[in-house]
Structure 1
Amino acid sequence: MEKKSLIALDKAGLERQSEFRYRLRRFLRFGEEAARAAGVTAVQYHLMLHTQAFPGREWASIGELAERLQTQQHGVVALVTRCEEAGLVRRKENQEDRRLVEVHLTAKGRRCVEKLAALHFAELGNLAEVIEAARASAAPG
């Protein structure tokens, strides 16, 4: 992690940071509850979402998913196994590099991701408002 100089925050800066953290936690809780209502865990939803994160392809590797989920590869392997058993994803050997395992959504997984992503979109807008307000108030001028 790069070392950055610390910025002293005034009361208003602390309030903005608190509001952001509060809204972020609300967004995360919303996601947890929405995923549960759809019959998956939040981390299963995140794994499925991240399979669609790379332009030009419809899959992600175990290593890429581990990075996106900020966890260890062996944990992702176990999560993929659980998602596979639930019919949400399937593994496929990469044709160019047989050591690489591709994780693809199934039709069931795609329906689940599309439904949950649509629900998250409006909530994400609320979080974006807080970020923009914080940026605007911190901008020089």
Structure 2
Amino acid sequence: MTLSDHDYRTLAEFRYALRRFLSLSETAARSAGLTPRQHQALLAIKGADGAAPIGLGDLAERLALHHNSMVELADRLADSGLVSRIPDSTDRRRVRLALTPAGEEKLAALSAIHLEELRRMRPVLQRLIDRLT
């Protein structure tokens, strides 16, 4: 595949837009007293598909973490009162995580900031995506 200067400019601008969004996200998380990874975990827990709370293994996959790192992150979130651990009903060795009311509140405040930024960025992102066609 041969890439044009236009392709490189589009990729560079898209990467820049993503980096700006991630920078805002990291700053917002820290301002809320969370690490960016803790914020990502809360969002993944809340956004998990399925009727049952998300398991540690699935959450580790969503965050691209090794299981032992996920356990440490879950410990910190539970110790700070943002998540609760729920034993799996079919396998007692497994643990599932759910947001506590405090976790829900913190995530809602952060998510509002993120959605507003995405709405603000929408024209730029749409323009970049349109340039791919």
Is TM more than 0.5 here? yes
Partner of 1:101: 95
Higher mean Cα deviation, 130-139 or 7-16?
130-139
**In 2, Cα distance between equivalents of 1:60 and 1:128:** 30
**In 2, Cα distance between equivalents of 1:16 and 1:58:** 40
Q: Is the 8 A contact 1:52 1:58 kept in 2?
A: no
Q: Report the alpha carbon displacement of residue 131 of structure 1 after superposing the two structures with TM.
A: 3.8
Could you say what secondary structure the match of 2:2 adopts?
Answer: coil
Q: Is the 8 A contact 1:51 1:58 kept in 2?
A: no
Higher mean Cα deviation, 128-137 or 31-40?
128-137
Q: Report the alpha carbon displacement of residue 98 of structure 1 after superposing the two structures with TM.
A: 1.8
Q: TM-score when scaled to structure 1? A: 0.86
Could you say what secondary structure the match of 1:138 adopts?
Answer: coil
The one-letter code sitting in structure 1 at the alignment partner of 2:42 is M
Partner of 2:73: 79
2:4 to 6, 10, 33: 10
Partner of 2:63: 69
The one-letter code sitting in structure 1 at the alignment partner of 2:24 is F
CA deviation string 1:104-126 (max 9, x = no partner): 11111010111101110122234
The one-letter code sitting in structure 2 at the alignment partner of 1:81 is D
Could you say what secondary structure the match of 2:13 adopts?
Answer: helix
Q: Report the alpha carbon displacement of residue 64 of structure 1 after superposing the two structures with TM.
A: 0.8
**In 1, Cα distance between equivalents of 2:43 and 2:25:** 12
Partner of 1:41: 35
Higher mean Cα deviation, 119-128 or 68-77?
119-128
Q: TM-score when scaled to structure 2? A: 0.91
**In 2, Cα distance between equivalents of 1:127 and 1:16:** 15
Could you say what secondary structure the match of 2:46 adopts?
Answer: coil
1:135 matches 2:129: yes
CA deviation string 1:6-51 (max 9, x = no partner): x322111111111111111111110011011111111101101111
Q: Is the 8 A contact 1:31 1:42 kept in 2?
A: yes
**In 1, Cα distance between equivalents of 2:91 and 2:52:** 17
**In 1, Cα distance between equivalents of 2:41 and 2:6:** 36
The one-letter code sitting in structure 2 at the alignment partner of 1:49 is L
